[in-house]
Structure 1
Amino acid sequence: MSHQTPATHRPLTTALAEAAAMAGHAPSVHNSQPWRWRVLPDALELRVVRDPQLAATDPQGELITLSCGAALHHVRLALAAEGWAATAQRLPDRARPELLARLTELRFTGVDPDSMRMVQCMQVRHTDRRPVSDEPVGDEHLTAITEATTREGARLEILDRDQVLQLAAAASHAATVEADDSQLRAELDYWTSRTGGVGLSPQVLPEQPPQTTVPGRDFRHPGTLPVGPGHDQAASYGVLYGDEDTATSWLRAGEALSAAWLAATRLGLSMVPLSGVVEVPGTRQILRQVLSGMGHPFLALRIGVSDPDHAGPAHTPRLAREQVVDISTVDGDA
């Protein structure tokens, strides 16, 4: 017999399936959505799908693991919003490296209002690559984002002016290296021409390169998102990092990215991940130098106050629920 939610008498498996579907709002490299969920009678499993169309961009599978970590944090919040607490087992089975996490020991602890607000943020969070406003990000907001990151097992270094210039040079070099790599160019073309729920649609890509201190990714062909005037000079930049360079660390980094991004969304801030600098080994090493060798970098981030004159861009497409959530083992309940 399925566990029942005391408040609503809904089966636990229904709550698990709905939380897994909500986790589909999580950010992922090239909007690849590399996670797959399996609902069990008393647990939820997260598996990774290693798409061959990311072999050049992410040969070690680090960024897709990070993406799955973001989805794991999303699902934890979605369950908490419905009143469920769970124990997260990360990489629970060495014999099955595709099994990234298992949520077990589900227990009803009561609806968490703060998690409910975070679930609302999941549904409005998006990536806006256009310049931000001329209003700087307040120190108290940067502190809130940094603390959200730390609670999920990673750290965020907010960069000073000299460090931002180092990041800008690294990002520029990474862009040059990737532009000269035919495999990387082919992958980018693949993810910017996909249909069917994944990839980056023209509506979310700038119609021309925006004016930025730290260059973003060159998508090689223009989108349809109007850029308008402005520069990101008032933006803050940070590096998400950790003590170790392991699969578990990259998974936790994704959870931390989710926590940071949702905290920023709640504060009305824009966040843009800059992964190019970690995709190229040489510029990843430069990021380590920016951190004074104190940690392993996972991502660079741009944080800014959204320009009030710009309406938010369209959301990237999402895979259908049945494509990412497997309820076959409990189909009679869920």
Structure 2
Amino acid sequence: MGWAIGAAARHAATALLGENVVRPPTESGHAALDEDEYLVLALDRERQLTSLPAHALEMLISCGAYGEILLRALAAQGWKADRVRFVNPAPAGQALGDDSADRIFGDRWPHAWAPVCVVRLRHVHADSEDLVELRETARARHTNRGPYRPESIDPAVLTELSTPRSGLSLFQAAPGRDPKVTVRHVVADAERAEVADLVSRHGGRDFSHLLAWQETHSFIRRSEADAEARGDGFTLGQLFGPLAPPRQYGMRIALAPATMRLLRHVGYHRVLARQLAAMVRSSPAAVALCFADEAPSIESIVCGGAAMADYWLAATRAGLVLHPVSVILQHDDVRDELEKRLGLPGRAFFVSRLGCALTAFPPSHRLATSRTLRLV
């Protein structure tokens, strides 16, 4: 996310939003309290996944989730998003030309960042959402890959979570454009079995696809210290729960791309898929979020990510945890089969286990704010 404080960046932001006048920033480098601020949500092309076509959509969904949480935190402090302009980011691998973002937004714009949307903020009264509560919920919102309690989730909680969502902050900034994201909970045994069957049959593709697994494996860290030093990624404990040292050593060898290249010939990837399928089958529920359109626009994708973050925060407040099962969405044939089996009302873009955790899982490490929010 770029915070436009320089003259060039503010001029570019206002031009993209169709505004004509840019008031100069104060001596501190940014607008006064009663003036507008501008944020530019961007995709870091140096860090995006590219081995599968579906990753392009996933990266934009992640941008929307990040933007939603940030804008809600700002709204809780009185800065409300009231206008937004979406742009299509340059594809991965495409050379940046004379109209590249670092030329448009000034010299401080990171060269690898591709703008996704520009948001105007105006200072109004603070939002009703409590900032401390939002911070605690956001910190508690992380993937739990462990077993869940078998008891059914309270139907009243699921009904509340089933409300069509649009990403509160981003869509409030885009009046008149509100393609809701549909929420579908999968609670019947037969339907959960359908999802588990697809995971069992196709969940090994991520492991057997050499480029995809090599890319995924690059984010597995050797230790907690390694993850902390890098500022991101997952340890084996964050993926599989507490492991004894011999088990950690064995898993590290088994998951290495060179080993996986050999083990896939004896079906190890199918073993891992069946283990994940068993977790899906034993969970009390799953959830699917769907776009209305089969070919969603950049706006719908980013705001879909915002809606996903909104759902996950609400589920966390309700005492629930999630474990996304992305592999059945990363291949069109599997996703199509999922949508048909469950009778989903649109294109599924997020599927996850849902339930109450039996054990706590540590959160993965996140990049420092200085690397994700830049003054430009």
TM-score bracket relative to the smaller structure: 0.7 to 0.9
Q: Match of 2:151, SS? A: coil
Q: Match of 2:203, SS? A: helix
Cα distance in 2 between the residues matched to 1:261 and 1:114: 17
Cα distance in 1 between the residues matched to 2:48 and 2:68: 25
Structure 1 position 231, deviation (Å):
6.2
Alpha-carbon contact 2:283-2:354 (below 8 Å) kept: no
Aligned to 2:371: 323
- Whether 1:185 aligns to 2:221 is no
| 124 and 240 in structure 1: CA distance in 2 versus 1, 3 angstrom threshold | same
Aligned to 1:200: 234
- Whether 1:135 aligns to 2:151 is yes
Matched residue type, 1:103: V
| 101 and 116 in structure 1: CA distance in 2 versus 1, 3 angstrom threshold | farther
Aligned to 1:240: 289
Unaligned residue ranges in structure 1 (runs of 5+)? 4-9, 16-39, 210-218, 223-229, 330-334
Structure 1 position 107, deviation (Å):
2.5
- Whether 1:161 aligns to 2:198 is no
Cα distance in 1 between the residues matched to 2:287 and 2:61: 17
Cα distance in 1 between the residues matched to 2:214 and 2:80: 43
Aligned to 2:333: 282
Structure 1 position 142, deviation (Å):
1.1
Aligned to 1:101: 117
Larger deviation, residues 103-112 vs 238-247: 103-112
Aligned to 2:82: 87
Rg: which structure is higher? 2
Correspondence 1:1-334 to 2 at 5 A:
42-51=37-46, 54-58=49-53, 61-92=56-87, 98-114=114-130, 116-147=132-163, 149=165, 153-159=180-186, 160-193=188-221, 195=227, 196-207=230-241, 221=255, 233-244=282-293, 245-246=295-296, 247-292=298-343, 294-307=345-358, 310=359, 312-327=360-375, 329=376
Task: Render the CA deviation track for 1:188-240: whole Å, top value 9, x for unaligned.
Answer: 2111137411221223111599xxxxxxxxx9649xxxxxxx96635211211
| 156 and 234 in structure 1: CA distance in 2 versus 1, 3 angstrom threshold | same
| 151 and 199 in structure 1: CA distance in 2 versus 1, 3 angstrom threshold | closer
Alpha-carbon contact 2:234-2:364 (below 8 Å) kept: yes
Alpha-carbon contact 2:82-2:119 (below 8 Å) kept: yes
TM-score normalised by L of structure 1: 0.73
| 90 and 172 in structure 1: CA distance in 2 versus 1, 3 angstrom threshold | farther
Structure 1 position 156, deviation (Å):
1.1
Structure 1 position 296, deviation (Å):
0.6
Q: Match of 1:56, SS? A: coil
Matched residue type, 1:321: T
Unaligned residue ranges in structure 2 (runs of 5+)? 1-23, 90-98, 102-112, 169-179, 244-252, 257-277
| 236 and 115 in structure 1: CA distance in 2 versus 1, 3 angstrom threshold | farther
The alignment of Structure 1 onto Structure 2 pairs a total of residues equal to 280
Structure 1 position 326, deviation (Å):
1.2
TM-score normalised by L of structure 2: 0.65
